[in-house]
């Protein structure tokens, strides 16, 4: 069966899952959702301007030394209408996530198209001991997020085959890998394209109150690595102790046919390619270390304060991952014969941009929503007043961030796109929490926990129908409700450990990444 084929219509569901499905299906495509939101934003800006909504800027002062008053502006004013039409090209091209994602994907696209990601995942899973099959599948699934869509298309059906070959229920393999890939969406040992995407949006939100702040895509590195180690035991326990006993012994249908290509052995050329890719990766890491270590190196700013000296290094990580993926993909492709000349590399890079066509359309709409939100000053006004309300409530920081996690999880049930959701939430949440002393990196981390934990139970997740098809290869009558119910224990477990991790991280004030603290102190007004 073609994994990209459209699934048969799923039966209507009842209860809370049915309600989520019905409400979610009535929502427009995320692109038009942003357009409708822009229309609503225009109306709200008119009302806010009419009633003179305002707030005191937290970091800027006027010529008289008094705090600068930020007033709501109508998006239908002559100045804002002119800005919309005149600056439309730059509004789009200056959208921070756009450049970050495009650069990383130019390299990751080569690694994916040469087959490096797929082979690496196959090699890791096939060599796993039977006893450790579930934790290995979970780890590879989380790391597979570096490969974007490849983890869904390659690893999840492969896990079913591996489980079946080991005498275990193939649906359990699908569940474990799906929980790792999508439930562990923000758990990884390395930053990747998701970090570039999310921190690009975070930077847009921060600049409303601190224009000089610069995103560091490694700002959640320690946190997402910790998420790996707390998520694996959850997936292991739920799969082996809850899901598999409920599934029982697998009894194949009479007309069941396995995919003969799903569990291909690693060939000699592929093994050679993995070795070459590993050597290429080490060479890139050594190069970046050379650029960073020692006095006078390009990625160290010796004139800056001690805490800011590594800022060029952090800012170079987007380019670093581009070079890493490109070099590893090129080396693997040469070994297996997928790359015969530089022209093949160029074609693969062009192909990766074609895969981002929908994202470019979405980014155009999101960029204008975020920009117009900033022009109206509504985000800053809501953030200031919201921060004042939070101060009056005097909630402990761990509790506050846990509530953000839960709020994100609920939102995720209705808006499936991670980038769309964060583009909606960040302009208010990030500045609001900065004003009460919480760093943008910590807010981003809390968002990621809530987003990941509920990915696997919402039918609106873009890959949900594809996962359903994979399940139906093994169990014909497997429906949408069956899949959602199968993943609920994973979602609950991942949410619980995520909430605990957020609370402990704040309580012990652990750095979220290199140069990224939990707390944030606003710069003094000039």
What's the rounded Cα separation, in Å, for the pair 141 and 150? 10
Handedness of CA 489, 492, 496, 498 (dihedral sign): positive
In this prediction, residue 264 carries a pLDDT of 67
What is the C-alpha to C-alpha distance for residues 346 and 333, in angstroms, rounded to an integer? 13
pLDDT of residue 49: 92
Helix (H) or strand (E) holding 58, with range, is: strand 54-61
Enter the tokens of residue 292: 């960073």
Q: Is residue 74 part of a domain?
A: yes
Q: According to the model, what pLDDT value does residue 257 have?
A: 47
Q: Quote the tokens at residue 15.
A: 């209860």
Per-residue pLDDT at 75: 94
Domain membership of residue 473 (yes or no) is yes
Are 225 and 391 in contact by the 8 Å Cβ rule? The answer is no
Which ranges of the chain have pLDDT less than 50? 1-12, 257, 259-262
- What does the alpha-carbon distance between residue 51 and residue 277 come to, in Å, rounded to a whole number? 61
Instruction: Kindly state whether residue 181 falls inside one of the protein's structural domains.
Output: yes
Q: How many CB atoms lie within 10 A of CB 212?
A: 7
Structural domain contains residue 394: yes
Q: How many CA atoms lie less than 13 Å away from 52 in the CB half-sphere?
A: 1
Range of the domain at 31: 15-51+70-102+144-251+356-507
Q: How far apart are the first and last CA of the chain?
A: 64
232, part of any domain: yes
Closest Cα to residue 119, out of 4, 275, 301? 275
- At residue 5, the pLDDT reads 39
Q: How far is CA 155 from CA 162, 235, 511, in A?
A: 10, 16, 32
**According to the model, what pLDDT value does residue 433 have?**
92
pTM of the model: 0.75
Query: What is the spatial distance between Cα 446 and Cα 499, in angstroms, rounded to a whole number?
Result: 9
Whole-number Cα distances in Å, 106 to 110, 152, 510: 7, 20, 33
The answer to whether position 195 is within a domain reads yes
User: Residue 150 has what pLDDT?
Assistant: 66
Question: Shortest CA distance to 375 belongs to which of 99, 100, 87, 96?
Answer: 87
- Tracing tokens 């896990």 back to the chain, one arrives at 159
The encoded tokens of residue 369 equal 């929503």
Q: What is the pLDDT of residue 442?
A: 96
Residue 77 host element (H or E): none
What residues pair up with 292 in beta bridges, in sequence order?
Answer: none
Domain contains 275: no
In a domain, 337, yes or no: no
Supply angle C-alpha 125, 169, 179, rounded to 5: 60
User: How many structural domains compose the chain?
Assistant: 1
């Amino acid at each position: 069966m073609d994994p990209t084929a459209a699934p048969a219509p799923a039966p209507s569901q009842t209860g809370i899952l049915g309600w989520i499905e019905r409400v979610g299906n009535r929502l427009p495509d995320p692109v038009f959702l942003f357009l409708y939101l822009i229309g609503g934003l225009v109306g709200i800006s008119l009302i806010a301007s009419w009633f003179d909504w305002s707030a005191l800027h937290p970091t800027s002062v006027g010529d008289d030394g008094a705090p600068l008053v930020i007033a709501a502006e109508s998006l239908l004013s002559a100045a804002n209408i002119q800005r919309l039409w005149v600056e439309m090209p730059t509004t789009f091209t200056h959208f921070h996530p756009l450049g970050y994602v495009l650069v990383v994907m130019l390299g990751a696209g080569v690694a994916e198209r040469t087959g490096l990601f797929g082979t690496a995942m196959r090699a890791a899973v096939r060599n796993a001991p039977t006893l450790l099959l579930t934790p290995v599948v979970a780890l590879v699934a989380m790391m597979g997020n570096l490969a974007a869509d490849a983890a869904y298309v390659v690893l999840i059906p492969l896990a079913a085959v591996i489980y079946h070959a080991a005498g275990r229920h193939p649906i359990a393999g699908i569940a474990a890998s799906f929980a790792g890939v999508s439930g562990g969406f923000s758990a990884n040992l390395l930053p990747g394209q998701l970090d570039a995407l999310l921190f690009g949006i975070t930077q847009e939100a921060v600049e409303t109150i601190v224009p000089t702040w610069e995103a560091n895509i490694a700002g959640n590195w320690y946190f997402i690595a910790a998420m790996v180690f707390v998520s694996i035991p959850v997936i292991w326990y739920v799969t082996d102790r809850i899901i598999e006993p409920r599934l029982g012994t697998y009894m194949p249908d009479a007309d069941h046919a396995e995919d003969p290509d799903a569990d291909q052995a690693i060939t000699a050329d592929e093994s050679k390619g993995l070795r070459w890719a590993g050597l290429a990766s080490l060479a890139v890491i050594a190069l970046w270390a050379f650029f960073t270590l020692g006095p006078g190196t390009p990625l160290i700013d010796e004139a800056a304060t001690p805490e800011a000296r590594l800022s060029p290094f952090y800012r170079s990580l987007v380019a670093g991952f581009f070079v890493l993926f490109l070099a590893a993909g090129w080396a693997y492709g040469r070994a297996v014969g997928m790359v015969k000349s530089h022209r093949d590399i160029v074609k693969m890079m062009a192909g990766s941009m074609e895969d981002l066509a929908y994202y470019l359309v979405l980014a155009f709409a999101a960029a204008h929503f975020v920009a117009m939100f900033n022009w109206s000053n509504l985000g800053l006004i809501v953030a200031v007043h919201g921060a004042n309300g939070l101060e009056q409530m005097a909630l402990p920081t761990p509790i506050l961030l846990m509530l953000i996690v839960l709020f994100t999880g609920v939102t995720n049930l209705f808006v499936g796109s991670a980038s769309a959701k964060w583009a909606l939430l960040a302009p208010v949440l990030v500045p609001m929490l900065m004003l009460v002393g919480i760093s943008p990196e910590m807010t981003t981390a809390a968002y990621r926990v809530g987003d990941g934990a509920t990915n696997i139970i919402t039918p609106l997740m873009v890959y949900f129908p594809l996962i359903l098809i994979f399940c139906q290869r093994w169990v014909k009558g497997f429906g949408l409700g069956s899949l959602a119910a199968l993943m609920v224990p994973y979602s609950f477990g991942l949410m619980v450990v995520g909430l605990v991790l957020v609370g402990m991280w704040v309580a012990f004030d652990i750095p979220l990444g290199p140069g990224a603290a939990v707390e944030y102190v606003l710069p003094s007004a000039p």
